[in-house]
Each structure stands twice: as structure tokens, then as C-alpha cells.
Structure 1
């Protein structure tokens, strides 16, 4: 549990594990729009590692501190510092905490409370489900700065909404509010900001009541669906089902 202790000193995030097994990770740099700096990426990676092996964690919720920003993406002040090409590549590689989030063996929910842009939206896209305040904004706006996503945005977005719509959002750097994002299927629900916490808490609580083994197997199969041919994916699904049946039988013996 050392990686999840709420009293542990952290620079950029806050963590809280409640008695239901819901781990809430709050991006806590409101003075910098909760942007992703090196400290945040490092601390997120540490917490994801701990959450992945701690059986007390049943669900992970990711949100931003304050009511204006979920995460505005890259810390531009930090990124603007002089660096060598090698150092720049290593810094960009450190965004792989997003891949850790995507592959956590727990259900993950993004509670999008404000602006989620660039890498901030990529973190939300890496979650299994997204609930968004109606007045929040999401988008992959890197093209407006002559750049492109680097945390999986070009890969996850078309898997969610199709290639043509993804191209439109990426090429134009479009920013969407909650209702528009819900209509496209980018988020599971868009709710008034005042209701966001309760809506996500209810969803997380319902997830926490399910079988952890079943949820893990379902998530593994869902992840495989994006990488395997259909026939191989069906075999993966069957393997998961057989494992769960055997686990239940062993528990009865």
C-alpha cells in the first residue's frame, strides 16, 4: 500500500482510496491548469503500478482539481526549456504513463470536470469510461501548434468514433463540449457540473461491487479486441471464460 498512502508527500497529484475500493487520483496542479509535467508523469506511473497489484483497489477514478481544468495537456513552460534531442525523446517517452493507465487491470473512469486538452484528453481516452460535465471541453488541439498527439490520441480516437470523424477532430483541432462529445460517443455521459461527482461515485460504486476476477478478464478481452483478429479475440474471450469457471469451481472445493 506504500504507493497509495494519501498522506505521502506528492507534488502534482492527490490520491484517496475509500472503503468501497474506489481509488480517486486527482491531478493537482490547478495553478498550472493541471498540466502534465515531469513530476506528475512520474507520480502517476508510481500510483498506477501500486494500484495494479493492490487487491484493495477495485476501481480507479481520474479527475482534476478545481472546477476549470481536468488537464490542459503538456506543461508548456517545462517543455519550452532548452534540451537535447535525446533528452526531448526521453521526456516524450515518459508519457507512457498513459499506456500504464490504459492497461491497468481495474476498471478506470475519467471524471472530466473541465478542460481536457492534448495529453489531458489522451489520459481520458485511455480510461475505460468517461463522464463529463456539460460545460467542460475536450479536444486534441496539437495541430494548432504545428504538432501532433504523442500519447495515443491518433490511435484511440478512431477506435472510438471511426476514422473519418477522428480525422476531422485531429486535422482541425476541434474542441467539443459535453453534449457534443456524448453525441459522438466520446464520453459515456455528459451531466451538469454540479452532478458530476455523484454520477461518477455511483458508477464507481456499482463497478466496485462486481467480481474483480471477472472485471479483469473482461478488460483483458476488451484490450485484445483492439489488437487481435476477430478469431483470435474470440479465443482470448473463451480462455477468460474458462479461467473464471475454473476459479469458481476451485472456490467450491
Structure 2
């Protein structure tokens, strides 16, 4: 099933929701409608228990996303949100706080806000031709959409180099630094990302949510992570899915998850 918003195509593939930035003529640069669409789609995914993973990608082979469309912005285009729930979902998508695991399929350059979107992804698959950059300082700005948190994903010294110079790095360098999980041929990007998403979707939803939150919190806020660990333990280890996982293992069958 395929649908979409202005500049954004959504496609349901079983338990996976594919979100594709669809302005290839503008290097998939973000506009207000696209951001609002991403927020709405992310919120709907969280509210649909049948969606177990999201794949975020772009159209064409030149760019995943080149960041905010400065031409539209300069012409007075709105980047605000009409629905505060969509605004919150977009913020959580780009900050890695969305309840649904997200796999980035980087078909081309991820620049500025495009790279910031990828920082919200839990796994990143990149084309061998992809490049990554936060060039805001070259334009009198700074990466205010989460890019200053780059040091939580790669060494701080390299994060400072990228943000202070604005220069790009290659996909191979991104892989070496841990920003990227896999580098593949351009035609293999989406398929590889869908493969990761399928593996994720086969696992228990509560366990996935716990892993996603706690792994990220351990990096950014260890004290809060320790507190949340005990909370998640009481939720997950007493859940129906925990019992189902053990039973399915003993019975040598595929578990049927309920998300509770």
C-alpha cells in the first residue's frame, strides 16, 4: 500500500513502513510540508501496532537529503507545524526518541538537516557514493536541528572537525567512524535497509523499545539510563511477550508477539 504527503511518499511493506523523501529535482531538500508529513507518518507508525520498523530513504541517486530548502525558506515558506503532536513526533524521529526503530537508507549525500535526520536513525545503510556533511557554518548558521549531538555517534574530535569546517566525509569514512553500519552499491541500499528492518520487525516490540531507549540514554545520560533500566526490567521481564519468547524457544517455534 502506497500513499504520501507533499514531497513524501509512504509505502507499507508488511510490518515495515518506508518513508521516501521525494523531491529529487531539489536533492530532496526539506520543506515545511515534508517535515509535517514526516511527523504525521511517524506518529501514525507509533500508533499502529502492526508497524514494527521504519525505513527512511530518498528518491534518486544524488541525495538522501540536502537539508532545509533555503530557496523556499528565503521566499518565506513556512517550516512550522499545524499539529503539535506531529511536531513532537518529528522531533522524536530526528532525535532518535521515536518508539519505532528506524533504519536509514542513504541513497546519496546527506547534508545539514539530512544528516541530522540520520542521527535519529538506529541503523544506517549508505551507498558507496554517499557523503555526509554539516556545512551550516559556511552559511552563517550552525546545525541547530540536532547536528551538534554528532559527538554521541562518532568521536568528539571528528564531530568538531565536521561542524567547525563544514567539510564532508565519505561513506567509507562514516563506516570507519561508526556513523554508518553498512556501505553497499547504490542499487543495494534499499534492499539492505529493508533486510535490517525485517530482522528488527521479527523481534519482540517491548524488548526493541527498551533496547532503543536504553542504548541511546547510556551514551547521553548514564544516570537516567540506570533509572530507566530498572523500570524497563519490571515491564519487559513480566510481560506476556517474555513468557511467549521462552515458551517458543522450548517448543522450537517462531514466537507470536503481542507487544505487551
Instruction: Give TM class, smaller chain.
Output: 0.7 to 0.9
The secondary structure found in structure 1 opposite 2:238 is helix
**2:57 counterpart SS class:** strand
How far is the alpha carbon of 1:228 from its aligned partner?
Answer: 2.9
Q: Does 1:23 align with 2:21?
A: no
Are 1:233 and 2:229 counterparts? no
Alignment partner of 2:173 out of 166, 180, 183: 180
User: Which of 140, 152, 163 in structure 2 is aligned with 1:170?
Assistant: 163
Match of 1:146 in 2: 140
What residue number does 1:13 align with? Answer: 8
Calculate the TM-score normalised by the size of structure 1.
0.86
- Paired position in structure 1 for 2:101: 107
Q: CA deviation at 1:71?
A: 0.5
Shift of 1:239: 2.1
Aligned to 2:45: 51
What are the superposed Cα offsets for residues 113-157 of structure 1, whole Å, 9 maximum, x if unpaired?
0011000110011111111011111111111112111110002x1
Residues paired across the two proteins, number: 239
Aligned equivalents of 2:22, 2:46: Cα separation in 1: 21
Task: Name the CA distance, whole Å, in 2 between partners of 1:80 and 1:229.
Answer: 41
Give the distance between the partners of 1:135 and 1:103, measured in 2 at CA: 28
Among candidates 104, 117, 122, match of residue 123 of structure 1: 117
Consecutive unaligned residues in structure 2, runs of 5 or more: 245-260
In structure 1, C-alpha distance between the alignment counterparts of 2:152 and 2:140, rounded to whole Å: 24
The 1:96/1:245 distance shift into structure 2, 3 A limit, reads: closer
Unaligned runs of 5+ in 1: none
Offset at residue 60 of structure 1 (A): 0.5
Q: 1:186 to 1:45 in 2, by over 3 A?
A: same
1:132 to 126, 130, 139: 126
Alignment of 1:143-222 (within 5 A): 143-155=137-149, 157-222=150-215
Task: Spell out, residue by residue over 1:18-46, the C-alpha distance to the aligned partner (whole angstroms, 9 max, x if none).
Answer: 12x01100001112111000110111111
- TM-score of the superposition, structure 2-length normalised? 0.84
- 2:237 match: secondary structure: helix
In 2 relative to 1, CA 143–98 (structure 1 residues): closer, same or farther, beyond 3 Å? farther
Helix, strand or coil at the partner of 2:29: coil
Aligned partners of 1:97, 1:54: CA distance in 2, in Å?
14
Q: Is the 8 A contact 2:110 2:132 kept in 1?
A: yes
Backbone CA RMSD of aligned residues: 2.4
Structure 2 counterpart of 1:248: 240
Would the alpha carbon gap of residues 56 and 220 (structure 1) be closer, same or farther in structure 2, given more than 3 Å must change? Answer: same
Distance 1:97 1:246 in 2: 28
